[in-house]
Chain A
Amino acid sequence: MKWLLVLLIAACGSSREGVVLWHAYNGPERAALEHVAAEWNDLHPETPLTLVQVPYDAFADKITSAVPNGNGPDLFVYSHDRIGDWAAAGVIEPIEFWVDDSIAGRYQKDALAAMAYRDDLWGLPMALKCLALFYRTDRISAPPKTTDELFAMAARARGSYPLAYANSDLYDHAPWLHGFGGVVLDEHGELRIASAEAADAMAFSKRLIDRGVVPAETTGPLVETLFNEGKADMALEGPWFVGDIAKGVPWAVSTLPIVSETGRPAAPFFSAEGVLMSARARDKDAAFAVMLFIAGDRSANERARDAGQIVPNAGVHDDATQAVFRKQLEHTVLIPAAPAMRMVWTPYMTALAKVQSGGESPSDALLEVEREVRRYSEPPR
């Protein structure tokens, strides 16, 4: 199929200024992507591909303002959870037109489904991200299998915390939320924030602090510092953390423990980073050809090998760390792409912070979150 499209491009002649792709990668991921782009340019000099790095903070806003004005890229790399917003606003183009079963069969079902929204396919997945349990092998010989074991670790005082994670960030709190059976949006896309299970999960996160398992008020950067300096033995982190671990720190990864109260595994959010096509792409056929290459098997192999990405392409060989993440992916919950989800993060963070500092009861806090999010997602009268 790929070759047929290539021929198609060649046959169509050229009024090409090429294809422009925006991304927010840095470090090894950026180098790997640039290498893939260089390969494409070698193979297809008539359709030059230009990569533009855009800082992550400004990325989504730039897309939202540039594309409708015709100044945006043809393709861009972003995680799937904005697809709902962008699809509703007409910023991205549905691509199932070019995709048949054989192309679709190259990707893991869940990963491809992440790029779908309301019966259309909006992009091809490139990399999967979720949290797993990183631990220092000089402190811990066997990572805890259940949360009771985790609490037991705290009892043995040793001058460092057993675990560190960003307590008030919903993304980091999600493993406990799902482990207790709570959700943010249920399978029909309805808000189910204020539930007994979610309240249990919040109370659990407070217990973790009170019993000295985790430090309070921790932010993402602090987690990494604590792990590297030995003030925390374990950290909840994702595949990006591998490059952040300081030299000389012996480490390993394992899947998250099982929540003893419910017997379910702690299940983090998983997000799929993929290539999306702008609705104003100048040459959509050419753009799709590039998209297919960037998300294709050859590129996936390189990105997995050189940048440590967990790729959704079937048949790619995983190293030990990637294998653990692959296993963890079996127990994850996809971040909902519905627009309502994006309004949940900040109020939930506020609620977590309040509960963890002892200011409010979990059920009250969750009711407030749900009330607020409902308010924001209602259209004006």
Chain B
Amino acid sequence: MSTASNQMRDWGLAALFASIVAIAVFVGHRNHELRARQLELASAGAEAIAEGREPPTGVEAAGLVGAARPSPHYAFLRKRTVITEGKVRELGGAHAPATDKLLYDAAQRFDRNGAFVELLGDNSGRAVAARAAKNGIAVSVVAPSNPAGMPWLILLGALGLGAVIAAAGALVGGAARPLGLALGGALLAIPAYGWGGAGATISIVAGALAITFAQMRGTIDRCAAGLRRHKTALAFLAPATIAMLVLVATPFCVGLVLGFFDHHQGQWTFVGLHNFGEILSGGGRAFDDPLNFWFILGVTVLWTAANVILHVTLGVALALVLKQSWLRGKGVYRMLLILPWAIPNYITALIWKGMFQGEYGAINALLHSAGLDGVSWFSSWSTAFTANVVTNTWLGFPFMMVVALGALESIPRDFYEAAEVDGATGWQRFWHITLPHLRPALAPAVVLGSIWTFNMFNVIFLVSGGKPGGSTDILVTDAYRWAFERGERYGMAAAYGTIIFLVLLLWTVFGARIGRKEEAA
């Protein structure tokens, strides 16, 4: 009966949620328990050594490590001894067990930071403890141990029982149906309490109640009906969406979150909105200081606008020219004009940089041969900016040209023929036929092209390198510098990325509003 199958479907949803929560808290609990056990053992081992007793079983290596005897010639070399089972020997040397290094490292750490008990940072699962003792440092190293296995019996048992309860509720009908669902879905809360405490129990119960509530209101039924109605569309959409969610949305979310932390010499600290404040306030600098966010934003906007206008104009113009039936050698021109896109842009960007070099570059050579003075391209903002724009236009117009070629292809010839018969001029034909047809196909290229240009790192970095004085840097290059030239401040870089994202989002939303108004008009 459909009510019974619906009940099982709803129970399935609740059970899925409950299982995820239960497994998550179990794993956390198990890791925590393992960690506590290892640390306890290590501590006990160190204590035993300090008191001269045998360390308990499970301790891989333990001993009383002596003080460091520095080498007379080198400040950074030293030797230590260890007393195990009453015998003294040198740490290290021939035939030494691999654990000797761990004992040595522990003693070093003790000397620097005092007593400690910890799991080793190398993910081996080993625990080490060191404490002061009468004649040295008591150190013990615990071997990695296996964590407890998954409690399959409990999980399956709870799920099975829950399924039965939910089915029974459906069969009885009436008020028993939601009751059965709530009960059956929340059964895993009981073992989850043992693993994750009240928090886990409450979330599972809340999840079950939420599903029950949704069932009573018919929400789930509506969603299921909707999915059925649109199943073809969703089936077509699914592969791309899943790929994007996993590989793009996830790092994206991580990037967003990282912006709230600061990374300083390997440590991550939560700093809330500090990074954003630091960036948006311009770092306490004047507005015309090239390291001020607002200055860089201005440069970036100018950069994007200039490039997009040039790319589209040049690309569309060339595509139009290359469509003329009377033109000879179209194929050859097309192949030649696509070369800037085909050649790896690392080397071509560097060639352009060389061409703009003040003394020996080809551009100044050309100017000299025309009788003009050479320009010192990277000494002033406007010329360096121009150099960047020229290079990026050279690199970017083939893409627009190809897109325009494809777009022009889809315009039926009859329109043009009819327009010619009507006596329309070339310009009128372009304005009334070509452009409206071009716009929808060109739109994605322009929108995405501007996003890519806004975030175009290579050209700026390789050609002007931000010269003069960092003023031709755009937002993404400054973010890069935070990540790699200012002490690996990845948190700042991530916050920067988030701000860039928000700027672009605002611009897109804004632009879409305007676009829609134009269409309506």
Q: Report A's interface with B, CB cutoff 8 A.
A: 4-5, 7-8, 11-12, 61, 64, 70, 85, 88-90, 94, 96-101, 104-105, 112-113, 116, 119-121, 215-217, 219, 221-222, 225-226, 231, 279-280, 283-285, 339-340, 342-343, 345-346, 350, 353-354, 357, 359, 372, 375-377, 379-381
Contacts and interface: CB of A to CB of B under 8 A. Distances in A.
Nearest to A121: B76
Interface in B459-486: 466-470, 481, 484-486
A98 B265 contact: no
A101 B73 contact: yes
Contacts of B376: 216-217, 357
Contacts of A85: 265, 488
Contact of A380 (B108, B264, B266, B378): B264
Contacts of B274: 380-381
A12 B92 CA distance: 14
11 contacts: A8-B96, A85-B488, A99-B77, A101-B71, A104-B77, A119-B75, A121-B74, A280-B123, A342-B487, A379-B264, A379-B265
Interface stretch (B40-48, B138-146, B354-362): B354-362
Contacts of A116: 75-76
B91 A377 contact: no
B135 to A, nearest CB: 21
Contacts of A90: 121, 266
Contacts of B78: 96
B359 A217 contact: yes
Given A101-B73, A226-B360, A342-B487, 11 more contacts: A4-B93, A85-B488, A88-B266, A98-B92, A101-B71, A217-B358, A339-B487, A340-B487, A350-B469, A354-B468, A381-B274
B95 interface: yes
Interface string B107-134: 0100000000000011100000000000
A281 B160 CA distance: 46
B119 to A, nearest CB: 13
Question: From DSSP, what is the main secondary structure of chain B's interface residues?
Answer: loop
- Enumerate the 9 nearest inter-chain pairs by beta-carbon distance, A residue then B residue, closest first: A89-B266, A4-B94, A376-B486, A116-B76, A380-B262, A88-B265, A121-B76, A346-B485, A357-B379
B77 A121 contact: yes
A8 B94 contact: yes
Nearest to A105: B73
Contact of B91 (A12, A97, A285, A345): A97
Interface residues of B, number: 53
Contacts of A105: 73
Interface in B463-519: 466-470, 481, 484-489
B378 A217 contact: yes
Contact of A279 (B104, B122, B467, B469): B122
B271 A380 contact: yes
B79 interface: yes
Nearest to A60: B484
Contacts of B91: 97
Given A4-B94, A90-B121, A101-B74, A217 B357 contact: yes
Contacts of B71: 100-101, 104
Contacts of A120: 76, 108
A11 B469 contact: no
B521 interface: no
B101 interface: yes
B77 A7 contact: no
B357 A222 contact: yes
Given A8-B94, A96-B76, A119-B75, A279 B121 contact: yes
B272 to A, nearest CB: 10
B3 interface: no
B1 interface: no
B98 interface: yes
Contact of A376 (B79, B359, B470, B489): B489
A64 B487 CA distance: 13
Contacts of B379: 217, 357
Most buried by A among B72, B74, B467, B485: B74
B467 A104 contact: no
B428 interface: no
Contacts of B283: 375
B261 to A, nearest CB: 9
A345 B485 CA distance: 8
A351 to B, nearest CB: 8
B269 interface: yes
Contacts of A70: 123
B94 A119 contact: no
Interface string B82-112: 0000000001111110101100110010000
B144 to A, nearest CB: 14
B485 to A, nearest CB: 5
Contacts of A342: 485, 487
A340 B79 CA distance: 31
Contact of A215 (B92, B266, B359): B359
A100 B77 contact: yes
B378 to A, nearest CB: 7
A206 to B, nearest CB: 13
A97 B74 contact: no
A381 B91 CA distance: 42
A123 B485 CA distance: 24
B76 A119 contact: yes
Contacts of B96: 8
Contacts of A380: 262, 264, 269, 271, 274
Most buried by B among A5, A12, A97, A222: A97
A376 B74 CA distance: 33
A216 B359 contact: yes
B77 to A, nearest CB: 5
B74 A346 contact: no
Contacts of A96: 76-78
Contacts of A104: 71, 73-74, 77
Contacts of A97: 91-92, 100-101, 104-105
Nearest to A104: B74
B440 to A, nearest CB: 40
A345 B484 CA distance: 11
Contacts of A381: 274
B18 to A, nearest CB: 32
Nearest to A349: B465
Contacts of B487: 339-340, 342-343, 376-377
Nearest to A70: B123
Nearest to A101: B71
Contacts of A376: 486-487, 489
A346 B360 CA distance: 25
B376 to A, nearest CB: 7
A269 B157 CA distance: 70
Contacts of B468: 353-354, 357, 359
A379 B360 CA distance: 44
A357 B359 CA distance: 14
A350 B76 contact: no
Contacts of B358: 216-217
A340 to B, nearest CB: 8
A376 B105 CA distance: 31
Contacts of A354: 468-469
Contacts of B98: 12, 283-285
A285 B378 CA distance: 52
Contacts of B76: 96, 113, 116, 119-121
Contacts of A359: 468-469
A101 B76 CA distance: 11
Nearest to A89: B266
Contacts of A99: 77
A12 B99 CA distance: 13
A237 to B, nearest CB: 18
Contact of B470 (A217, A350, A377): A350
A5 B265 CA distance: 34
Interface string B328-371: 00000000000000000000000000100111100000000000
Contacts of A353: 467-469
